[in-house]
Chains A and B, each alone.
Chain A
Amino acid sequence: MNKGLILRKVCILRAGIPLIEVDYAIAAGEILTVMGPSGVGKSTLLAYLTGTLATTFTGMGQVLLDGLDITKYPPHARRIGILFQDDLLFPHMSVGTNLAFGMPPGGSKASRLAQIEEALSDVGMAGFADRDPGTLSGGQKARVALVRMLLSNPRALLLDEAFSRLDAELRAQVRDLVFQTAKKRALPVLMVTHDIEDAQDAGGTIIKLKSLSKG
Chain B
Amino acid sequence: MLRFLPALTLLAMLGPVVAGLWGTALPALGHLPAAGLTGPSLDPFWDLFNWAGLGTAVRLSVMVGLVATSVSLTIVVFITAGWSGTRSFHILERMLSPLLSVPHAAAAFGLAFLIAPSGWISRLLSPAFTGWDRPPDLLIVQDPLGLAMIAGLVIKEVPFLLLMTIAAMGQAQPRRSLLVAQSLGYGRLTGWLKTVFPRVYTQIRLPVYVVIAYSMSIVDVAVILGPSTPPTLSVQIVKWMSDPDLSMRLTGAAAALLQLALVIGALGFWWCGERIVARLGHQWIISGRRGQFDPSIRIFALGLGSISGAAILFGLAGLAVWSFAAFWSFPNILPDGFTLRTWARHGPDAFATLGETFLVAGIAVLLALALVLGCLEAEHRSGRGLTLRGLWLLYLPLLVPQTAFLPGLQTLLLNLGADVGRLPVIFAHLVFVLPYVFLSLGDPWRSWDSRYATVASALGARPWIVFWQVRVPMLLRPILTATAVGIAVSVGQYLATLLIGGGRVSTLTTEAVALASGGDRRAIGVYGLMQTLAALVPFTLALIIPTVLWRNRRGLHE
Q: How far is the CB of A45 from chain B (nearest CB, A)?
A: 14
Within 8 A of A (CB), among B125-141: none
Within 8 A of B (CB), among A86-143: 86, 88-92, 101-102, 104, 132-135
Q: Does B454 make an interface contact (CB < 8 A)?
A: yes
Among candidates B450, B457, B459, residue contacting A148 with C-beta atoms closer than 8 Å = B459
Q: Does B552 make an interface contact (CB < 8 A)?
A: yes
In angstroms, Cα B469 to Cα A135, docked, is 21
Q: Which residues of B contact A101 (CB under 8 A)?
A: 456, 459, 461, 469
* A55 contacts B554, C-beta separation under 8 Å: no
Q: Does B474 make an interface contact (CB < 8 A)?
A: yes
* B463 contacts A54, C-beta separation under 8 Å: no
Which residue of chain A has the shortest Cβ distance to B382 in the bound complex?
Answer: A55
Interface string of B457-489 (1 = CB under 8 A from A): 111111100000110011010000000000000
In angstroms, Cα B144 to Cα A209, docked, is 74
* A152 contacts B460, C-beta separation under 8 Å: yes
20 pairs from A and B in contact (CB 8 Å cutoff): A47-B454, A52-B454, A52-B457, A54-B383, A75-B458, A76-B461, A81-B459, A84-B451, A84-B455, A86-B449, A86-B451, A90-B452, A90-B474, A91-B474, A91-B553, A91-B555, A92-B556, A101-B456, A134-B556, A152-B458
In angstroms, Cα B451 to Cα A81, docked, is 13
* B473 contacts A76, C-beta separation under 8 Å: no
Report if A132-B455 is in contact (Cβ < 8 Å); known contacts: A55-B383, A102-B460: no
In angstroms, Cα B451 to Cα A88, docked, is 8
* A55 contacts B384, C-beta separation under 8 Å: yes
Report if A82-B555 is in contact (Cβ < 8 Å); known contacts: A54-B383, A92-B474, A92-B550: no
In angstroms, Cα B473 to Cα A92, docked, is 7
| 4 tightest A-B CB contacts, nearest first | A91-B555, A134-B554, A134-B555, A55-B383
> Chain A: interface secondary structure?
loop
- Most chain B CB neighbours (cut-off 10 Å) among A74, A90, A135: A90
**Residues of A that sit less than 8 Å from B by CB:** 47, 50-52, 54-56, 74-82, 84, 86, 88-92, 101-102, 104, 132-135, 148-149, 152, 154
* B454 contacts A132, C-beta separation under 8 Å: no
Report if A82-B382 is in contact (Cβ < 8 Å); known contacts: A90-B470, A132-B555, A134-B555: no
Which residue of chain A has the shortest Cβ distance to B556 in the bound complex?
Answer: A91
- Most chain B CB neighbours (cut-off 10 Å) among A74, A84, A134: A134
**Can you add 7 more A-B contacts, CB < 8 Å, to A88-B451, A91-B553?**
A50-B458, A76-B462, A77-B460, A79-B460, A90-B456, A92-B474, A154-B458
Which residue of chain B has the shortest Cβ distance to A89 in the bound complex?
Answer: B555
Q: How far is the CB of B283 from chain A (nearest CB, A)?
A: 37
Q: Which residues of B contact A92 (CB under 8 A)?
A: 473-474, 476, 550, 553, 555-556
Among candidates B451, B460, B469, B554, residue contacting A132 with C-beta atoms closer than 8 Å = B554
Among candidates B459, B476, B555, residue contacting A152 with C-beta atoms closer than 8 Å = B459
Within 8 A of A (CB), among B529-558: 550, 552-556
* A82 contacts B470, C-beta separation under 8 Å: no
